[in-house]
Each structure stands twice: as C-alpha cells, then as structure tokens.
A and B are shown apart, each in its own frame.
Chain A
Amino acid sequence: MGESGAGKSTLLRLVAGLEHPDRGLIRVGGRVYFDSAAGIDLPPWRRRTGYVAQQQALFPHLTVFDNVAFGLRAAGRWPRDIATRVTTALARLDVGDLAERRPAEISGGQAQRVALARALVLDPDVLLLDEPLAALDLRTRAQVRGALKAVLASAPSPRATLFVTHDPLEAMVFGDRIAALEDGRVTQVGSREELLARPRSPYVAAFLGINMFRGRIVSRDGGIVQIRTGEDGGELSAVDPGAGGAEVVAIVHPREITLFRKAPGGSAQNTYVGPITEIVPEPPNGERVRVALGTRPPLVAEVTDRAVLQLELREGLEVMAMFKATGVTVFR
C-alpha cells in the first residue's frame, strides 16, 4: 500500500513485464521473470501473470464470454475445454448470465468481475490487482470487495496475489503481508499486527496504526450492537450500523482509547483490563507513544509521553483501557 505516486502501479507493471527495470531480479514462485545479471527478461505473454488494472480494459469488440476466452484461445486450447473453463470462471464471479453481453452493456462492478474472471481463468502464477475497486462507487465497491475476498479464499485460488491499494481499510482486509511503499521504496513489510504495533514511519503509523477486528454482531440494544471478535472471542460495543449482514469489520483508532491505572468514574461502553505487552514511541520521535495491550481483543492505544510518565506505564503492568461505542467504526 502507498499513496498515489509512490510507485505501486509501476511495481505491478514491472512484474507483469509491461515496464522494464534497469537492474534487479523478479522471481515468482520458482520462475525467474527478470534477471539483469543473467540477461533474462521474459516478455509479458510468457510470464503467466493475471493483471487487473484499475481502469477496466475489457476488449470492447468482444462479448464477455470471448473476453474471458481470450487468453485460453491465445494458448491454443480446445474449444470444448475453453467453453467449460469460461463458464466456470464466469459463474464463480457471479456474472454467468452476462456471457453474451458486450462490455458497453454491463456496469462498472460487473466489468471488474469479468476482468477478474478473465485473469483467473488462466490459473496465473501471480494475480496482480491494481486498485481493482478504486474506480467503483461505494456500494458496488463493497459488493465486488466481497466477491474478490471469496474468490481469493476459495480453491482454486491463485498461488499468490499482489494487491495494490492506497486505502488502509483494503490493505487491512486483504493483506496477509503488507508492504508500505513510500517514494518508490518499501519502508516496511509485515503482518497487519506487526505494522499496527510497530510502525516504522509516520505514514504507516498514520494509515495502518489502527485497531481492526473481524467479527459478527451477536446482539443489538437501543442503537448499540455487541460485536464478538472472531479470533479471540472478545467483545466490543459499537453504534448500530443498521440493517445488513452480521459479519462486520470493526475499527478503533488508537487515539480513541484512554488508559487508567484504576477504574475511573463515568461510563465508557468498552472497558478492558490487561497487561502492557509493549511500549513503542511513535516515529519520528514524536510526543505520542503506542502502547500494546494483552487484552481480549488485543488493543493498541496511543497516548502522550506525559501520560506514560504520569501513569508510570511500563511493560507487564496491568492497566484499564476504555473507549466509547461512538469511537468504533463498523464496516461490512
């Protein structure tokens, strides 16, 4: 993930073979795509990448079916084999009924699903997704995001997916390993939890330094819902997001969380007790400090360094963390 101009698209185009690096090594699985030392530079059509760009590029003169069949025909497959594979791929992305339409006759969300089917039907070594949801409106984006998640999670899934985004939520939702790209350089690579607890640049701190939980709504009462987080069975209260599915993603910004040594007066709906597992100053040597807590669910709070001194915070200390239900953002 990175901001626009950081070099995300260039990175994908280098892997796809649409741009050529001055030097370096590009290897996917066991296959070397590019190696300046060995003089290897496979052309794009021999690389087996599945490339889906932000701006959809379905061939306007071909039907949806022929678009998805394009790569199979280029590979010289038998017509019957092609028909089976294309039908399966379209059904998988829920666009089977559009097979005979032209790209001009389908919506943006449908076009992106077809583009995904077109890439996936070739069983690529690596799926390259360049902001595949960015051009869609908010509602369509949520739908296509769901479809994409399902496809990436279910067999036969691509062996690897390189997903480029400027949206922290997308990075959090999709990223097993997240690389932060700033000005053409990878500044940090790690799991969501690692980047959350130990951001190594202000950018990562600002954009990834958020508590995120996948969970399901288990009860609702008076405009407040209880969300049980998936991994650890912890619970949190949030403002009711309205009608929809029970599966949600809840986000709490570390600055919403206040730390106490003893229970204070007043009532925040979310109160947790647990030991401090780590204290990390937020870069670059700012006045704010990140405190990771061994609560259920695990939280990261952001406090001032004065608070650290006043509360005499240290690793291992048992503290109380509180935040309001209004401090939780709920996504579906």
Chain B
Amino acid sequence: MLVRAALSLAAATLLCFLALPIISLFVRVSPATLWGRLGQPVVRQALWLSLGTSAAATLLVVLFGLPVAYLLATREFRAKRVVQTLVELPIVLPPTAAGVGLLLAFGRAGLAGGVLTAVGIELPFTTLAVVVAQVFVATPFFISSATAGLAAVERRYTDAAATLGATPAFGFFRVLLPMALPAILAGAAMSWARALGEFGATITFAGNLPGRTQTMPLAVYTALQNDLSAAVALSVLLVILSFTILLGLRFAPWGAAVGGASARLRGR
C-alpha cells in the first residue's frame, strides 16, 4: 500500500514537472495572438527555415548514417569501439563547443575550410552551415537507434535470405531494412527532433541572421531580449509542431515502436 502510494506520488510529481512549463506557455498566449504572430515575416521565415533545414539535416543523417549503422551492426573490426565512441561524442559535447569545432574545421581558416574555399564554398554564416550544425548534433541519435535495430535482426533471417539466393544488397533491402524499419524510423524521428531544437552549435557556427540562419530556437532567444510575448508565441508554435509530428509517427501503421523498441519484430 505504502509502496503504491510512493510510486504514484513519484509519477505524479514528474508528470507535473514536465507538463507545467508546457502549460505555462499555453496560458500566456491566446490563439488570436498566436495567429497574429504567425503572420509576421520574422516568425514565418524562422518557421520555414527550421522546417527546411531540419528536414534536410534528417535526410543527410539517414543517407550517410545508414551505411555506418549497417557496418557497426554486422561487422566486427578492431576499431569498432573507437568508432562507436566517436559517433556518440556529439551527445555529450556541449553544442557551443561543437560550434567552435565546426568553425575551426570548416571556417575560412579552418582545416577543411581551405579546400572548401578553393571550390567556391563558404560555409560559416550560411543556411548550409545551419544544416551542417544540425547534422553534427543529430547524427548520434540516428546511428545508435538504427544500429540497435539492425543488430537485433537475428542471423537466421539473413542466413535464410543468403541461402535463398539473395545477394547482400538484395537481402539488405528486402529483409534487414524492413525488419529494422521501426528502429530506423524511430532514430530518424529522434534526429529530426534534435535538429529542430538545435541552438548552441547553430548560433556559434552559423550565426543569427534573420531569414538565413535564424531558426525557430534562435528566434525565440532573440525575441526574449525585447519582446516576451513574441518569444512565448514562437515557443508555443515549436511545441505544437514537435508534438504533432511525434504523435503522428507514434500512430503510423508501423508506429508503436517509434521512440520505443522494435520488440514486435525482434521477438520472432
């Protein structure tokens, strides 16, 4: 009885703690104000910029992350742990530090910057830099989820595919990928969420230029300096956006696994 009460109390406290800031945002802004703010060019620009860059970043993360996840899940090699640690590093690295690193790597005087300048690409303080910063911080979330999903596909299935005449490529697209799909989509959703909320690396590496590099989180921060109600409206918008998309993913046909484990497929 006592245990049950303690459990309920702990759960209730945590839920209140998580919900209170969200509720506070919503009580501070009326739907009319929200709609009005949406009409402002700065807000609209920030919104589209955020949606565009985070979508592009997610696409890049999946495109380049999937092969890495495949290798990590299916191959044994000596440097595997080093590679895994390197891939996971951005999770613990403060985003501002990541931004400084990106600046030193891809800036005009940076290690790779010289090469980029030579082919006519200038990264810092451009929209592309926003995408680069988001890819940097979002990659680990995709890799770890996709690797776990691919590794969870039991060997008997890939063995069966191979003896049925499937080349590794055919087996990957017809067996491994579909069976690991829930985990892969979950990873993509997490990366997208991370990219959408990205602040520190973006402001350090890409700057805070309205219309070019000022994404929603940066716009919130900027608005907070002189106009609290604008910051609130933007925040509410972000909450609605994230919540809708995460909820949509969870209720999609393959969805139960998003954010959780792909236990349904792994079990068999």
When C-beta atoms are compared, the residue in chain A nearest to B174 turns out to be: A70
Partner of B156, one of A43, A50, A53: A53
Of A44, A57, A71, A73, which contacts B157 at CB under 8 A? A57
Contact of A74 with B178 in the complex, beta carbons under 8 Å: no
| A59 touching B170 in the complex, CB below 8 Å, given contacts A103-B268, A104-B268 | no
Contact with A along B158-177 (1 / 0, CB 8 A): 01111111110010001100
Question: Chain A: which residue is nearest B157 at the CB level?
Answer: A57
Tell me the count of chain B residues lying within 8 A, CB to CB, of chain A. Answer: 19
Contact A59 B265 (CB under 8 A): no
Interface core residue of B159, B164, B170, B175 (most chain A CB under 10 Å): B164
Interface residue B151 (Cβ < 8 Å from any Cβ of A): no
B186 is an interface residue with CB less than 8 A from chain A: no
As a 0/1 sequence over residues 61 to 80 of chain A, the CB contacts with chain B under 8 angstroms (1 = contact) are: 10000000011011100000
Q: Are A45 and B166 in contact, with the CB atoms below 8 A?
A: yes
Q: Which chain B residues border A53 with CB–CB below 8 Å?
A: 156, 159-160
A61 to B257, CA, bound (A): 15
When A61-B178, A70-B166 are in contact, do A55 and B160 touch as well, CB less than 8 Å?
A: no
Interface size on A, residues (CB 8 A): 29
B57 on the A face (CB < 8 A): no
**A55: nearest chain-B partner, CB-CB:** B156
B179 contacts the other chain (Cβ, under 8 Å)? yes
Pick from B160, B166, B170, B265: contact of A57, CB below 8 A. B160
B167 touches A74 (CB 8 A): yes
Q: Hey, which chain B residues are within 8 Å of A18, CB to CB? A: 159, 162-163
Pick from A60, A103, A122: contact of B165, CB below 8 A.
A122
Instruction: Give the shortest distance, in Å, between B166 (CB) and chain A (any CB).
Output: 4
A49 at the B interface (CB under 8 A): yes
Is there an interface contact between A71 and B162, defined as CB atoms closer than 8 Å?
no
Residue of B156, B165, B178 near A75 (CB, 8 A) is: B165
Render A1-42 as a binary contact track against B, CB cut-off 8 A, 1 for contact.
Answer: 000000000000000111000000000000000000000000
Q: Which residues of B sit under 8 angstroms from A122, Cβ to Cβ?
A: 164-165
- Supposing A55-B156, A59-B179, A61-B179 touch, asked if A17 and B161 sit within 8 A by C-beta, the answer is no
Question: Does any Cβ of B come within 8 Å of A213's Cβ?
Answer: no
Within 8 Å by CB of A74, from B157, B159, B170, B265, lies B170
Q: Are B268 and A44 in contact (CB under 8 A)?
A: no
A17, B174: Cα distance in complex, Å: 20
A314 vs B175: C-alpha distance in the bound complex, in angstroms?
64
The binding surface of chain B is classed by DSSP as helix
Contact with A along B119-134 (1 / 0, CB 8 A): 0000000000000000
Q: Are A118 and B164 in contact (CB under 8 A)?
A: yes
Would you list which residues of chain A between 119 and 134 have a CB under 8 Å from chain B? Answer: 119, 122, 128
Contact A45:B159 (CB < 8 A) given known A59-B179, A61-B265? no
Residues of A within 8 A of B161 (CB): 59, 70, 74
> B residues within 8 A CB of A71?
164-166
Contacting pair A17 B157 (CB below 8 A)? no
Task: Check B179 against A49 for contact (C-beta < 8 Å).
Answer: no
Report the separation of the CA atoms of residues A103 and B31 in the bound assembly, to the nearest whole angstrom. Answer: 50
For A45, give its contact among B162, B175, B178, B265 (CB under 8 Å): B162
- How far, in Å, is A108 (CB) from chain B's closest CB? 12
Q: Does A323 contact B (CB under 8 A)?
A: no
Q: Which of B149-203 contact A (CB under 8 A)?
A: 154, 156-157, 159-167, 170, 174-175, 178-179
Q: If A60-B179, A60-B265, A104-B268 touch, does A74 touch B156 (CB 8 Å cutoff)?
A: no
CA distance A16 to B265 in the complex (A): 26
With both beta carbons as reference points, the residue of chain A lying nearest to B179 in the complex is identified as: A61
Highest count of chain B CB atoms <10 Å: which of A16, A18, A60, A128: A60
CB of A47 within 8 Å of the partner chain: yes
For residue A272, CB closer than 8 A to chain B, the reply is: no
A57-B157, A70-B174 known; A51-B167 Cβ under 8 A: no
Asked if A16 and B163 make an inter-chain contact with CB atoms under 8 angstroms apart, the answer reads yes
Known: A74-B170, A103-B268, A104-B268. A59 touches B157 (CB 8 A): yes
Q: Report the nearest B residue to A71, measured CB to CB.
A: B164
Chain B residues with CB below 8 A from A70, complex form: 161, 164, 166, 174
Cα A44 to Cα B16 with chains together (Å)? 57
For the complex formed, measure the closest distance between the CB of B141 and the CB atoms of chain A, giving whole angstroms.
Answer: 24
A51 to B163 Cα, complex, angstroms? 6
Are B179 and A74 in contact (CB-based, < 8 A)?
no
Q: How far, in whole Å, are A104 and B170 apart by their CA atoms in the complex?
A: 23
- Between B162, B170, B175, the greatest number of chain A beta carbons within 10 A of the residue's beta carbon is seen for B162
- What's the Cα separation between A312 and B190 when bound, in Å? 86
- Contact check: which of A43, A50, A73, A118 meets B162 at CB < 8 Å? A43
CB distance from A147 to the nearest CB of B (A): 20
**Top 4 A-B residue pairs of the complex, sorted by shortest distance between their CB atoms:** A71-B164, A44-B162, A51-B163, A57-B156
List the interface of chain B (C-beta within 8 A of A): 154, 156-157, 159-167, 170, 174-175, 178-179, 265, 268
A and B contact pairs by CB, cutoff 8 A, 25 listed: A16-B159, A16-B163, A17-B162, A18-B159, A43-B162, A44-B162, A45-B162, A45-B167, A50-B163, A51-B159, A57-B159, A59-B160, A59-B161, A59-B175, A59-B179, A60-B179, A60-B268, A70-B161, A70-B174, A71-B165, A71-B166, A73-B174, A74-B161, A74-B170, A119-B164
Given contacts A46-B165, A57-B157, A59-B179, 14 further A-B contacts (CB under 8 A): A16-B159, A18-B159, A43-B162, A44-B163, A45-B162, A45-B163, A45-B166, A55-B156, A60-B179, A70-B161, A75-B165, A103-B268, A119-B164, A128-B163
